[in-house]
Amino acid sequence: MTVRVVLADDQTVVRAGFRALLDLTDDLVVAEVADGARAVEAVRTTRPDVVLMDIRMPGVDGLEATRRIAGDRSLDGVRVVMLTTYQVGAYVFEALRHGAAGFLLKGIEPDDLRAAIRTVAEGRGLLDPAVTRRVIEEFARLKAPEAAGAERLAVLTGREREVMAPVAAGLSNEEIGKRLIMSPLTAKTHVSRTMTKLGARDRAPLVVLAYETGLVRPGEH
C-alpha cells in the first residue's frame, strides 16, 4: 500500500528528516512546503492521502491550513496530522477542532511514524497514544462545558452517547465492544452513526466534543 504524503514545515531539516524516513518505505512524498498557504495549494493539486502539518509556520499557520483543508468537501479523503511538541496543548486541541485526524511529536520513532501514517490513511484518527489524551485532558481542564456543544448531542441515541466515552479514551472498536458488551462490528456501527450525525470526518472531533460538552471529564475513562 503506497500512501501519498505532503510535508508542511517551515524548517528544511525537519522536512528532510521525515522525507528520509518515508523514502525507506513504499510511502511517496508528493510535495514539500514551508507554510500553510502552500500546503493547501499542494493538497488541492496532488490530492495526497495524508498531510504532515507543522502548527507554527509563517503566514498561514498549520491551524488555518487544516481548517481550509477540512472545510473543502472536495478534499474529504485527505487526512491532516499535526506535527508538534508537548508544549502546545491548546494548539493541538484547536487543530482537532478544525478537523485534524491527530498529531505526532516531531521526535517520533521511525516505525511509529510509518504505522501512524497508515493508520490515518485508513481513515482512523491518531487517538491511541496516551500523550494525545494527556494533551486533550490538560486543555479540557481549562474549559467549561459548552451549552451549545451539549445541544449537538441531542441528535444521538443513548447508546451512541455511551460509545462516545470510550472513543474519547482512545479505545478500539474491539475494546469498546468488551466495555459495553457488544460485538466489535456493532461498536463500529454505533461509532460510524455517531460520526455521521455529528458531521465528523473521523474520531478526533468526537473526542473534542466529548470533553467540550462535559460528556467525558478529564481523568474519566
Nearest partner of 94 among 49, 131, 56, 120, judged by Cα: 56
User: Which architecture characterizes domain 4-126 according to CATH?
Assistant: 3-Layer(aba) Sandwich (3.40)
Task: In the chain, list all ranges with CATH 1.10.10.10.
Answer: 140-212
Report how far residue 221's alpha carbon sits from residue 217's, in angstroms, rounded to the nearest whole number: 9
More confident residue, 221 or 187: 187
In this prediction, residues 151-161 reach a mean pLDDT of: 89
Classified by CATH at the fold level, domain 140-212 comes out as Arc Repressor Mutant, subunit A (1.10.10)
Confidence of residue 86 (pLDDT cuts 50, 70, 90): low
How do 50-54 and 102-105 pair as beta strands?
unpaired
Report how far residue 75's alpha carbon sits from residue 162's, in angstroms, rounded to the nearest whole number: 30
Residue 122 CB: number of other CB atoms within 10 A? 11
Asked if the model's pLDDT at residue 132 lies above 60, the reply is: no
In this prediction, residues 122-142 reach a mean pLDDT of: 59
Report how far residue 130's alpha carbon sits from residue 142's, in angstroms, rounded to the nearest whole number: 19
More confident residue, 109 or 62: 62
Report how far residue 42's alpha carbon sits from residue 30's, in angstroms, rounded to the nearest whole number: 9
- pLDDT score at 204: 75
Confidence of residue 5 (pLDDT cuts 50, 70, 90): very high
- pLDDT score at 8: 96
Give me the chain's average pLDDT, please.
82
Say how many CA atoms lie within 13 Å of 33 toward its Cβ.
27
- pLDDT score at 53: 93
Task: In the chain, list all ranges with CATH 3.40.50.2300.
Answer: 4-126
- pLDDT score at 177: 92
Nearest partner of 97 among 220, 213, 206, 217, judged by Cα: 206
Strand blocks (E) in 85-194: 102-105
Phi first, then psi, for residue 68 (nearest 5°) are -65, -40
Confidence of residue 44 (pLDDT cuts 50, 70, 90): very high
Query: What's the pTM value of the predicted model, to 2 decimals?
Result: 0.72
| CA 68 to each of CA 32, 121, 129, 143: distance values in angstroms, whole numbers, following the listed order | 18, 19, 26, 25
Nearest partner of 170 among 198, 133, 144, judged by Cα: 133
Contact 62, 10 (CB under 8 A): no
- pLDDT score at 129: 47
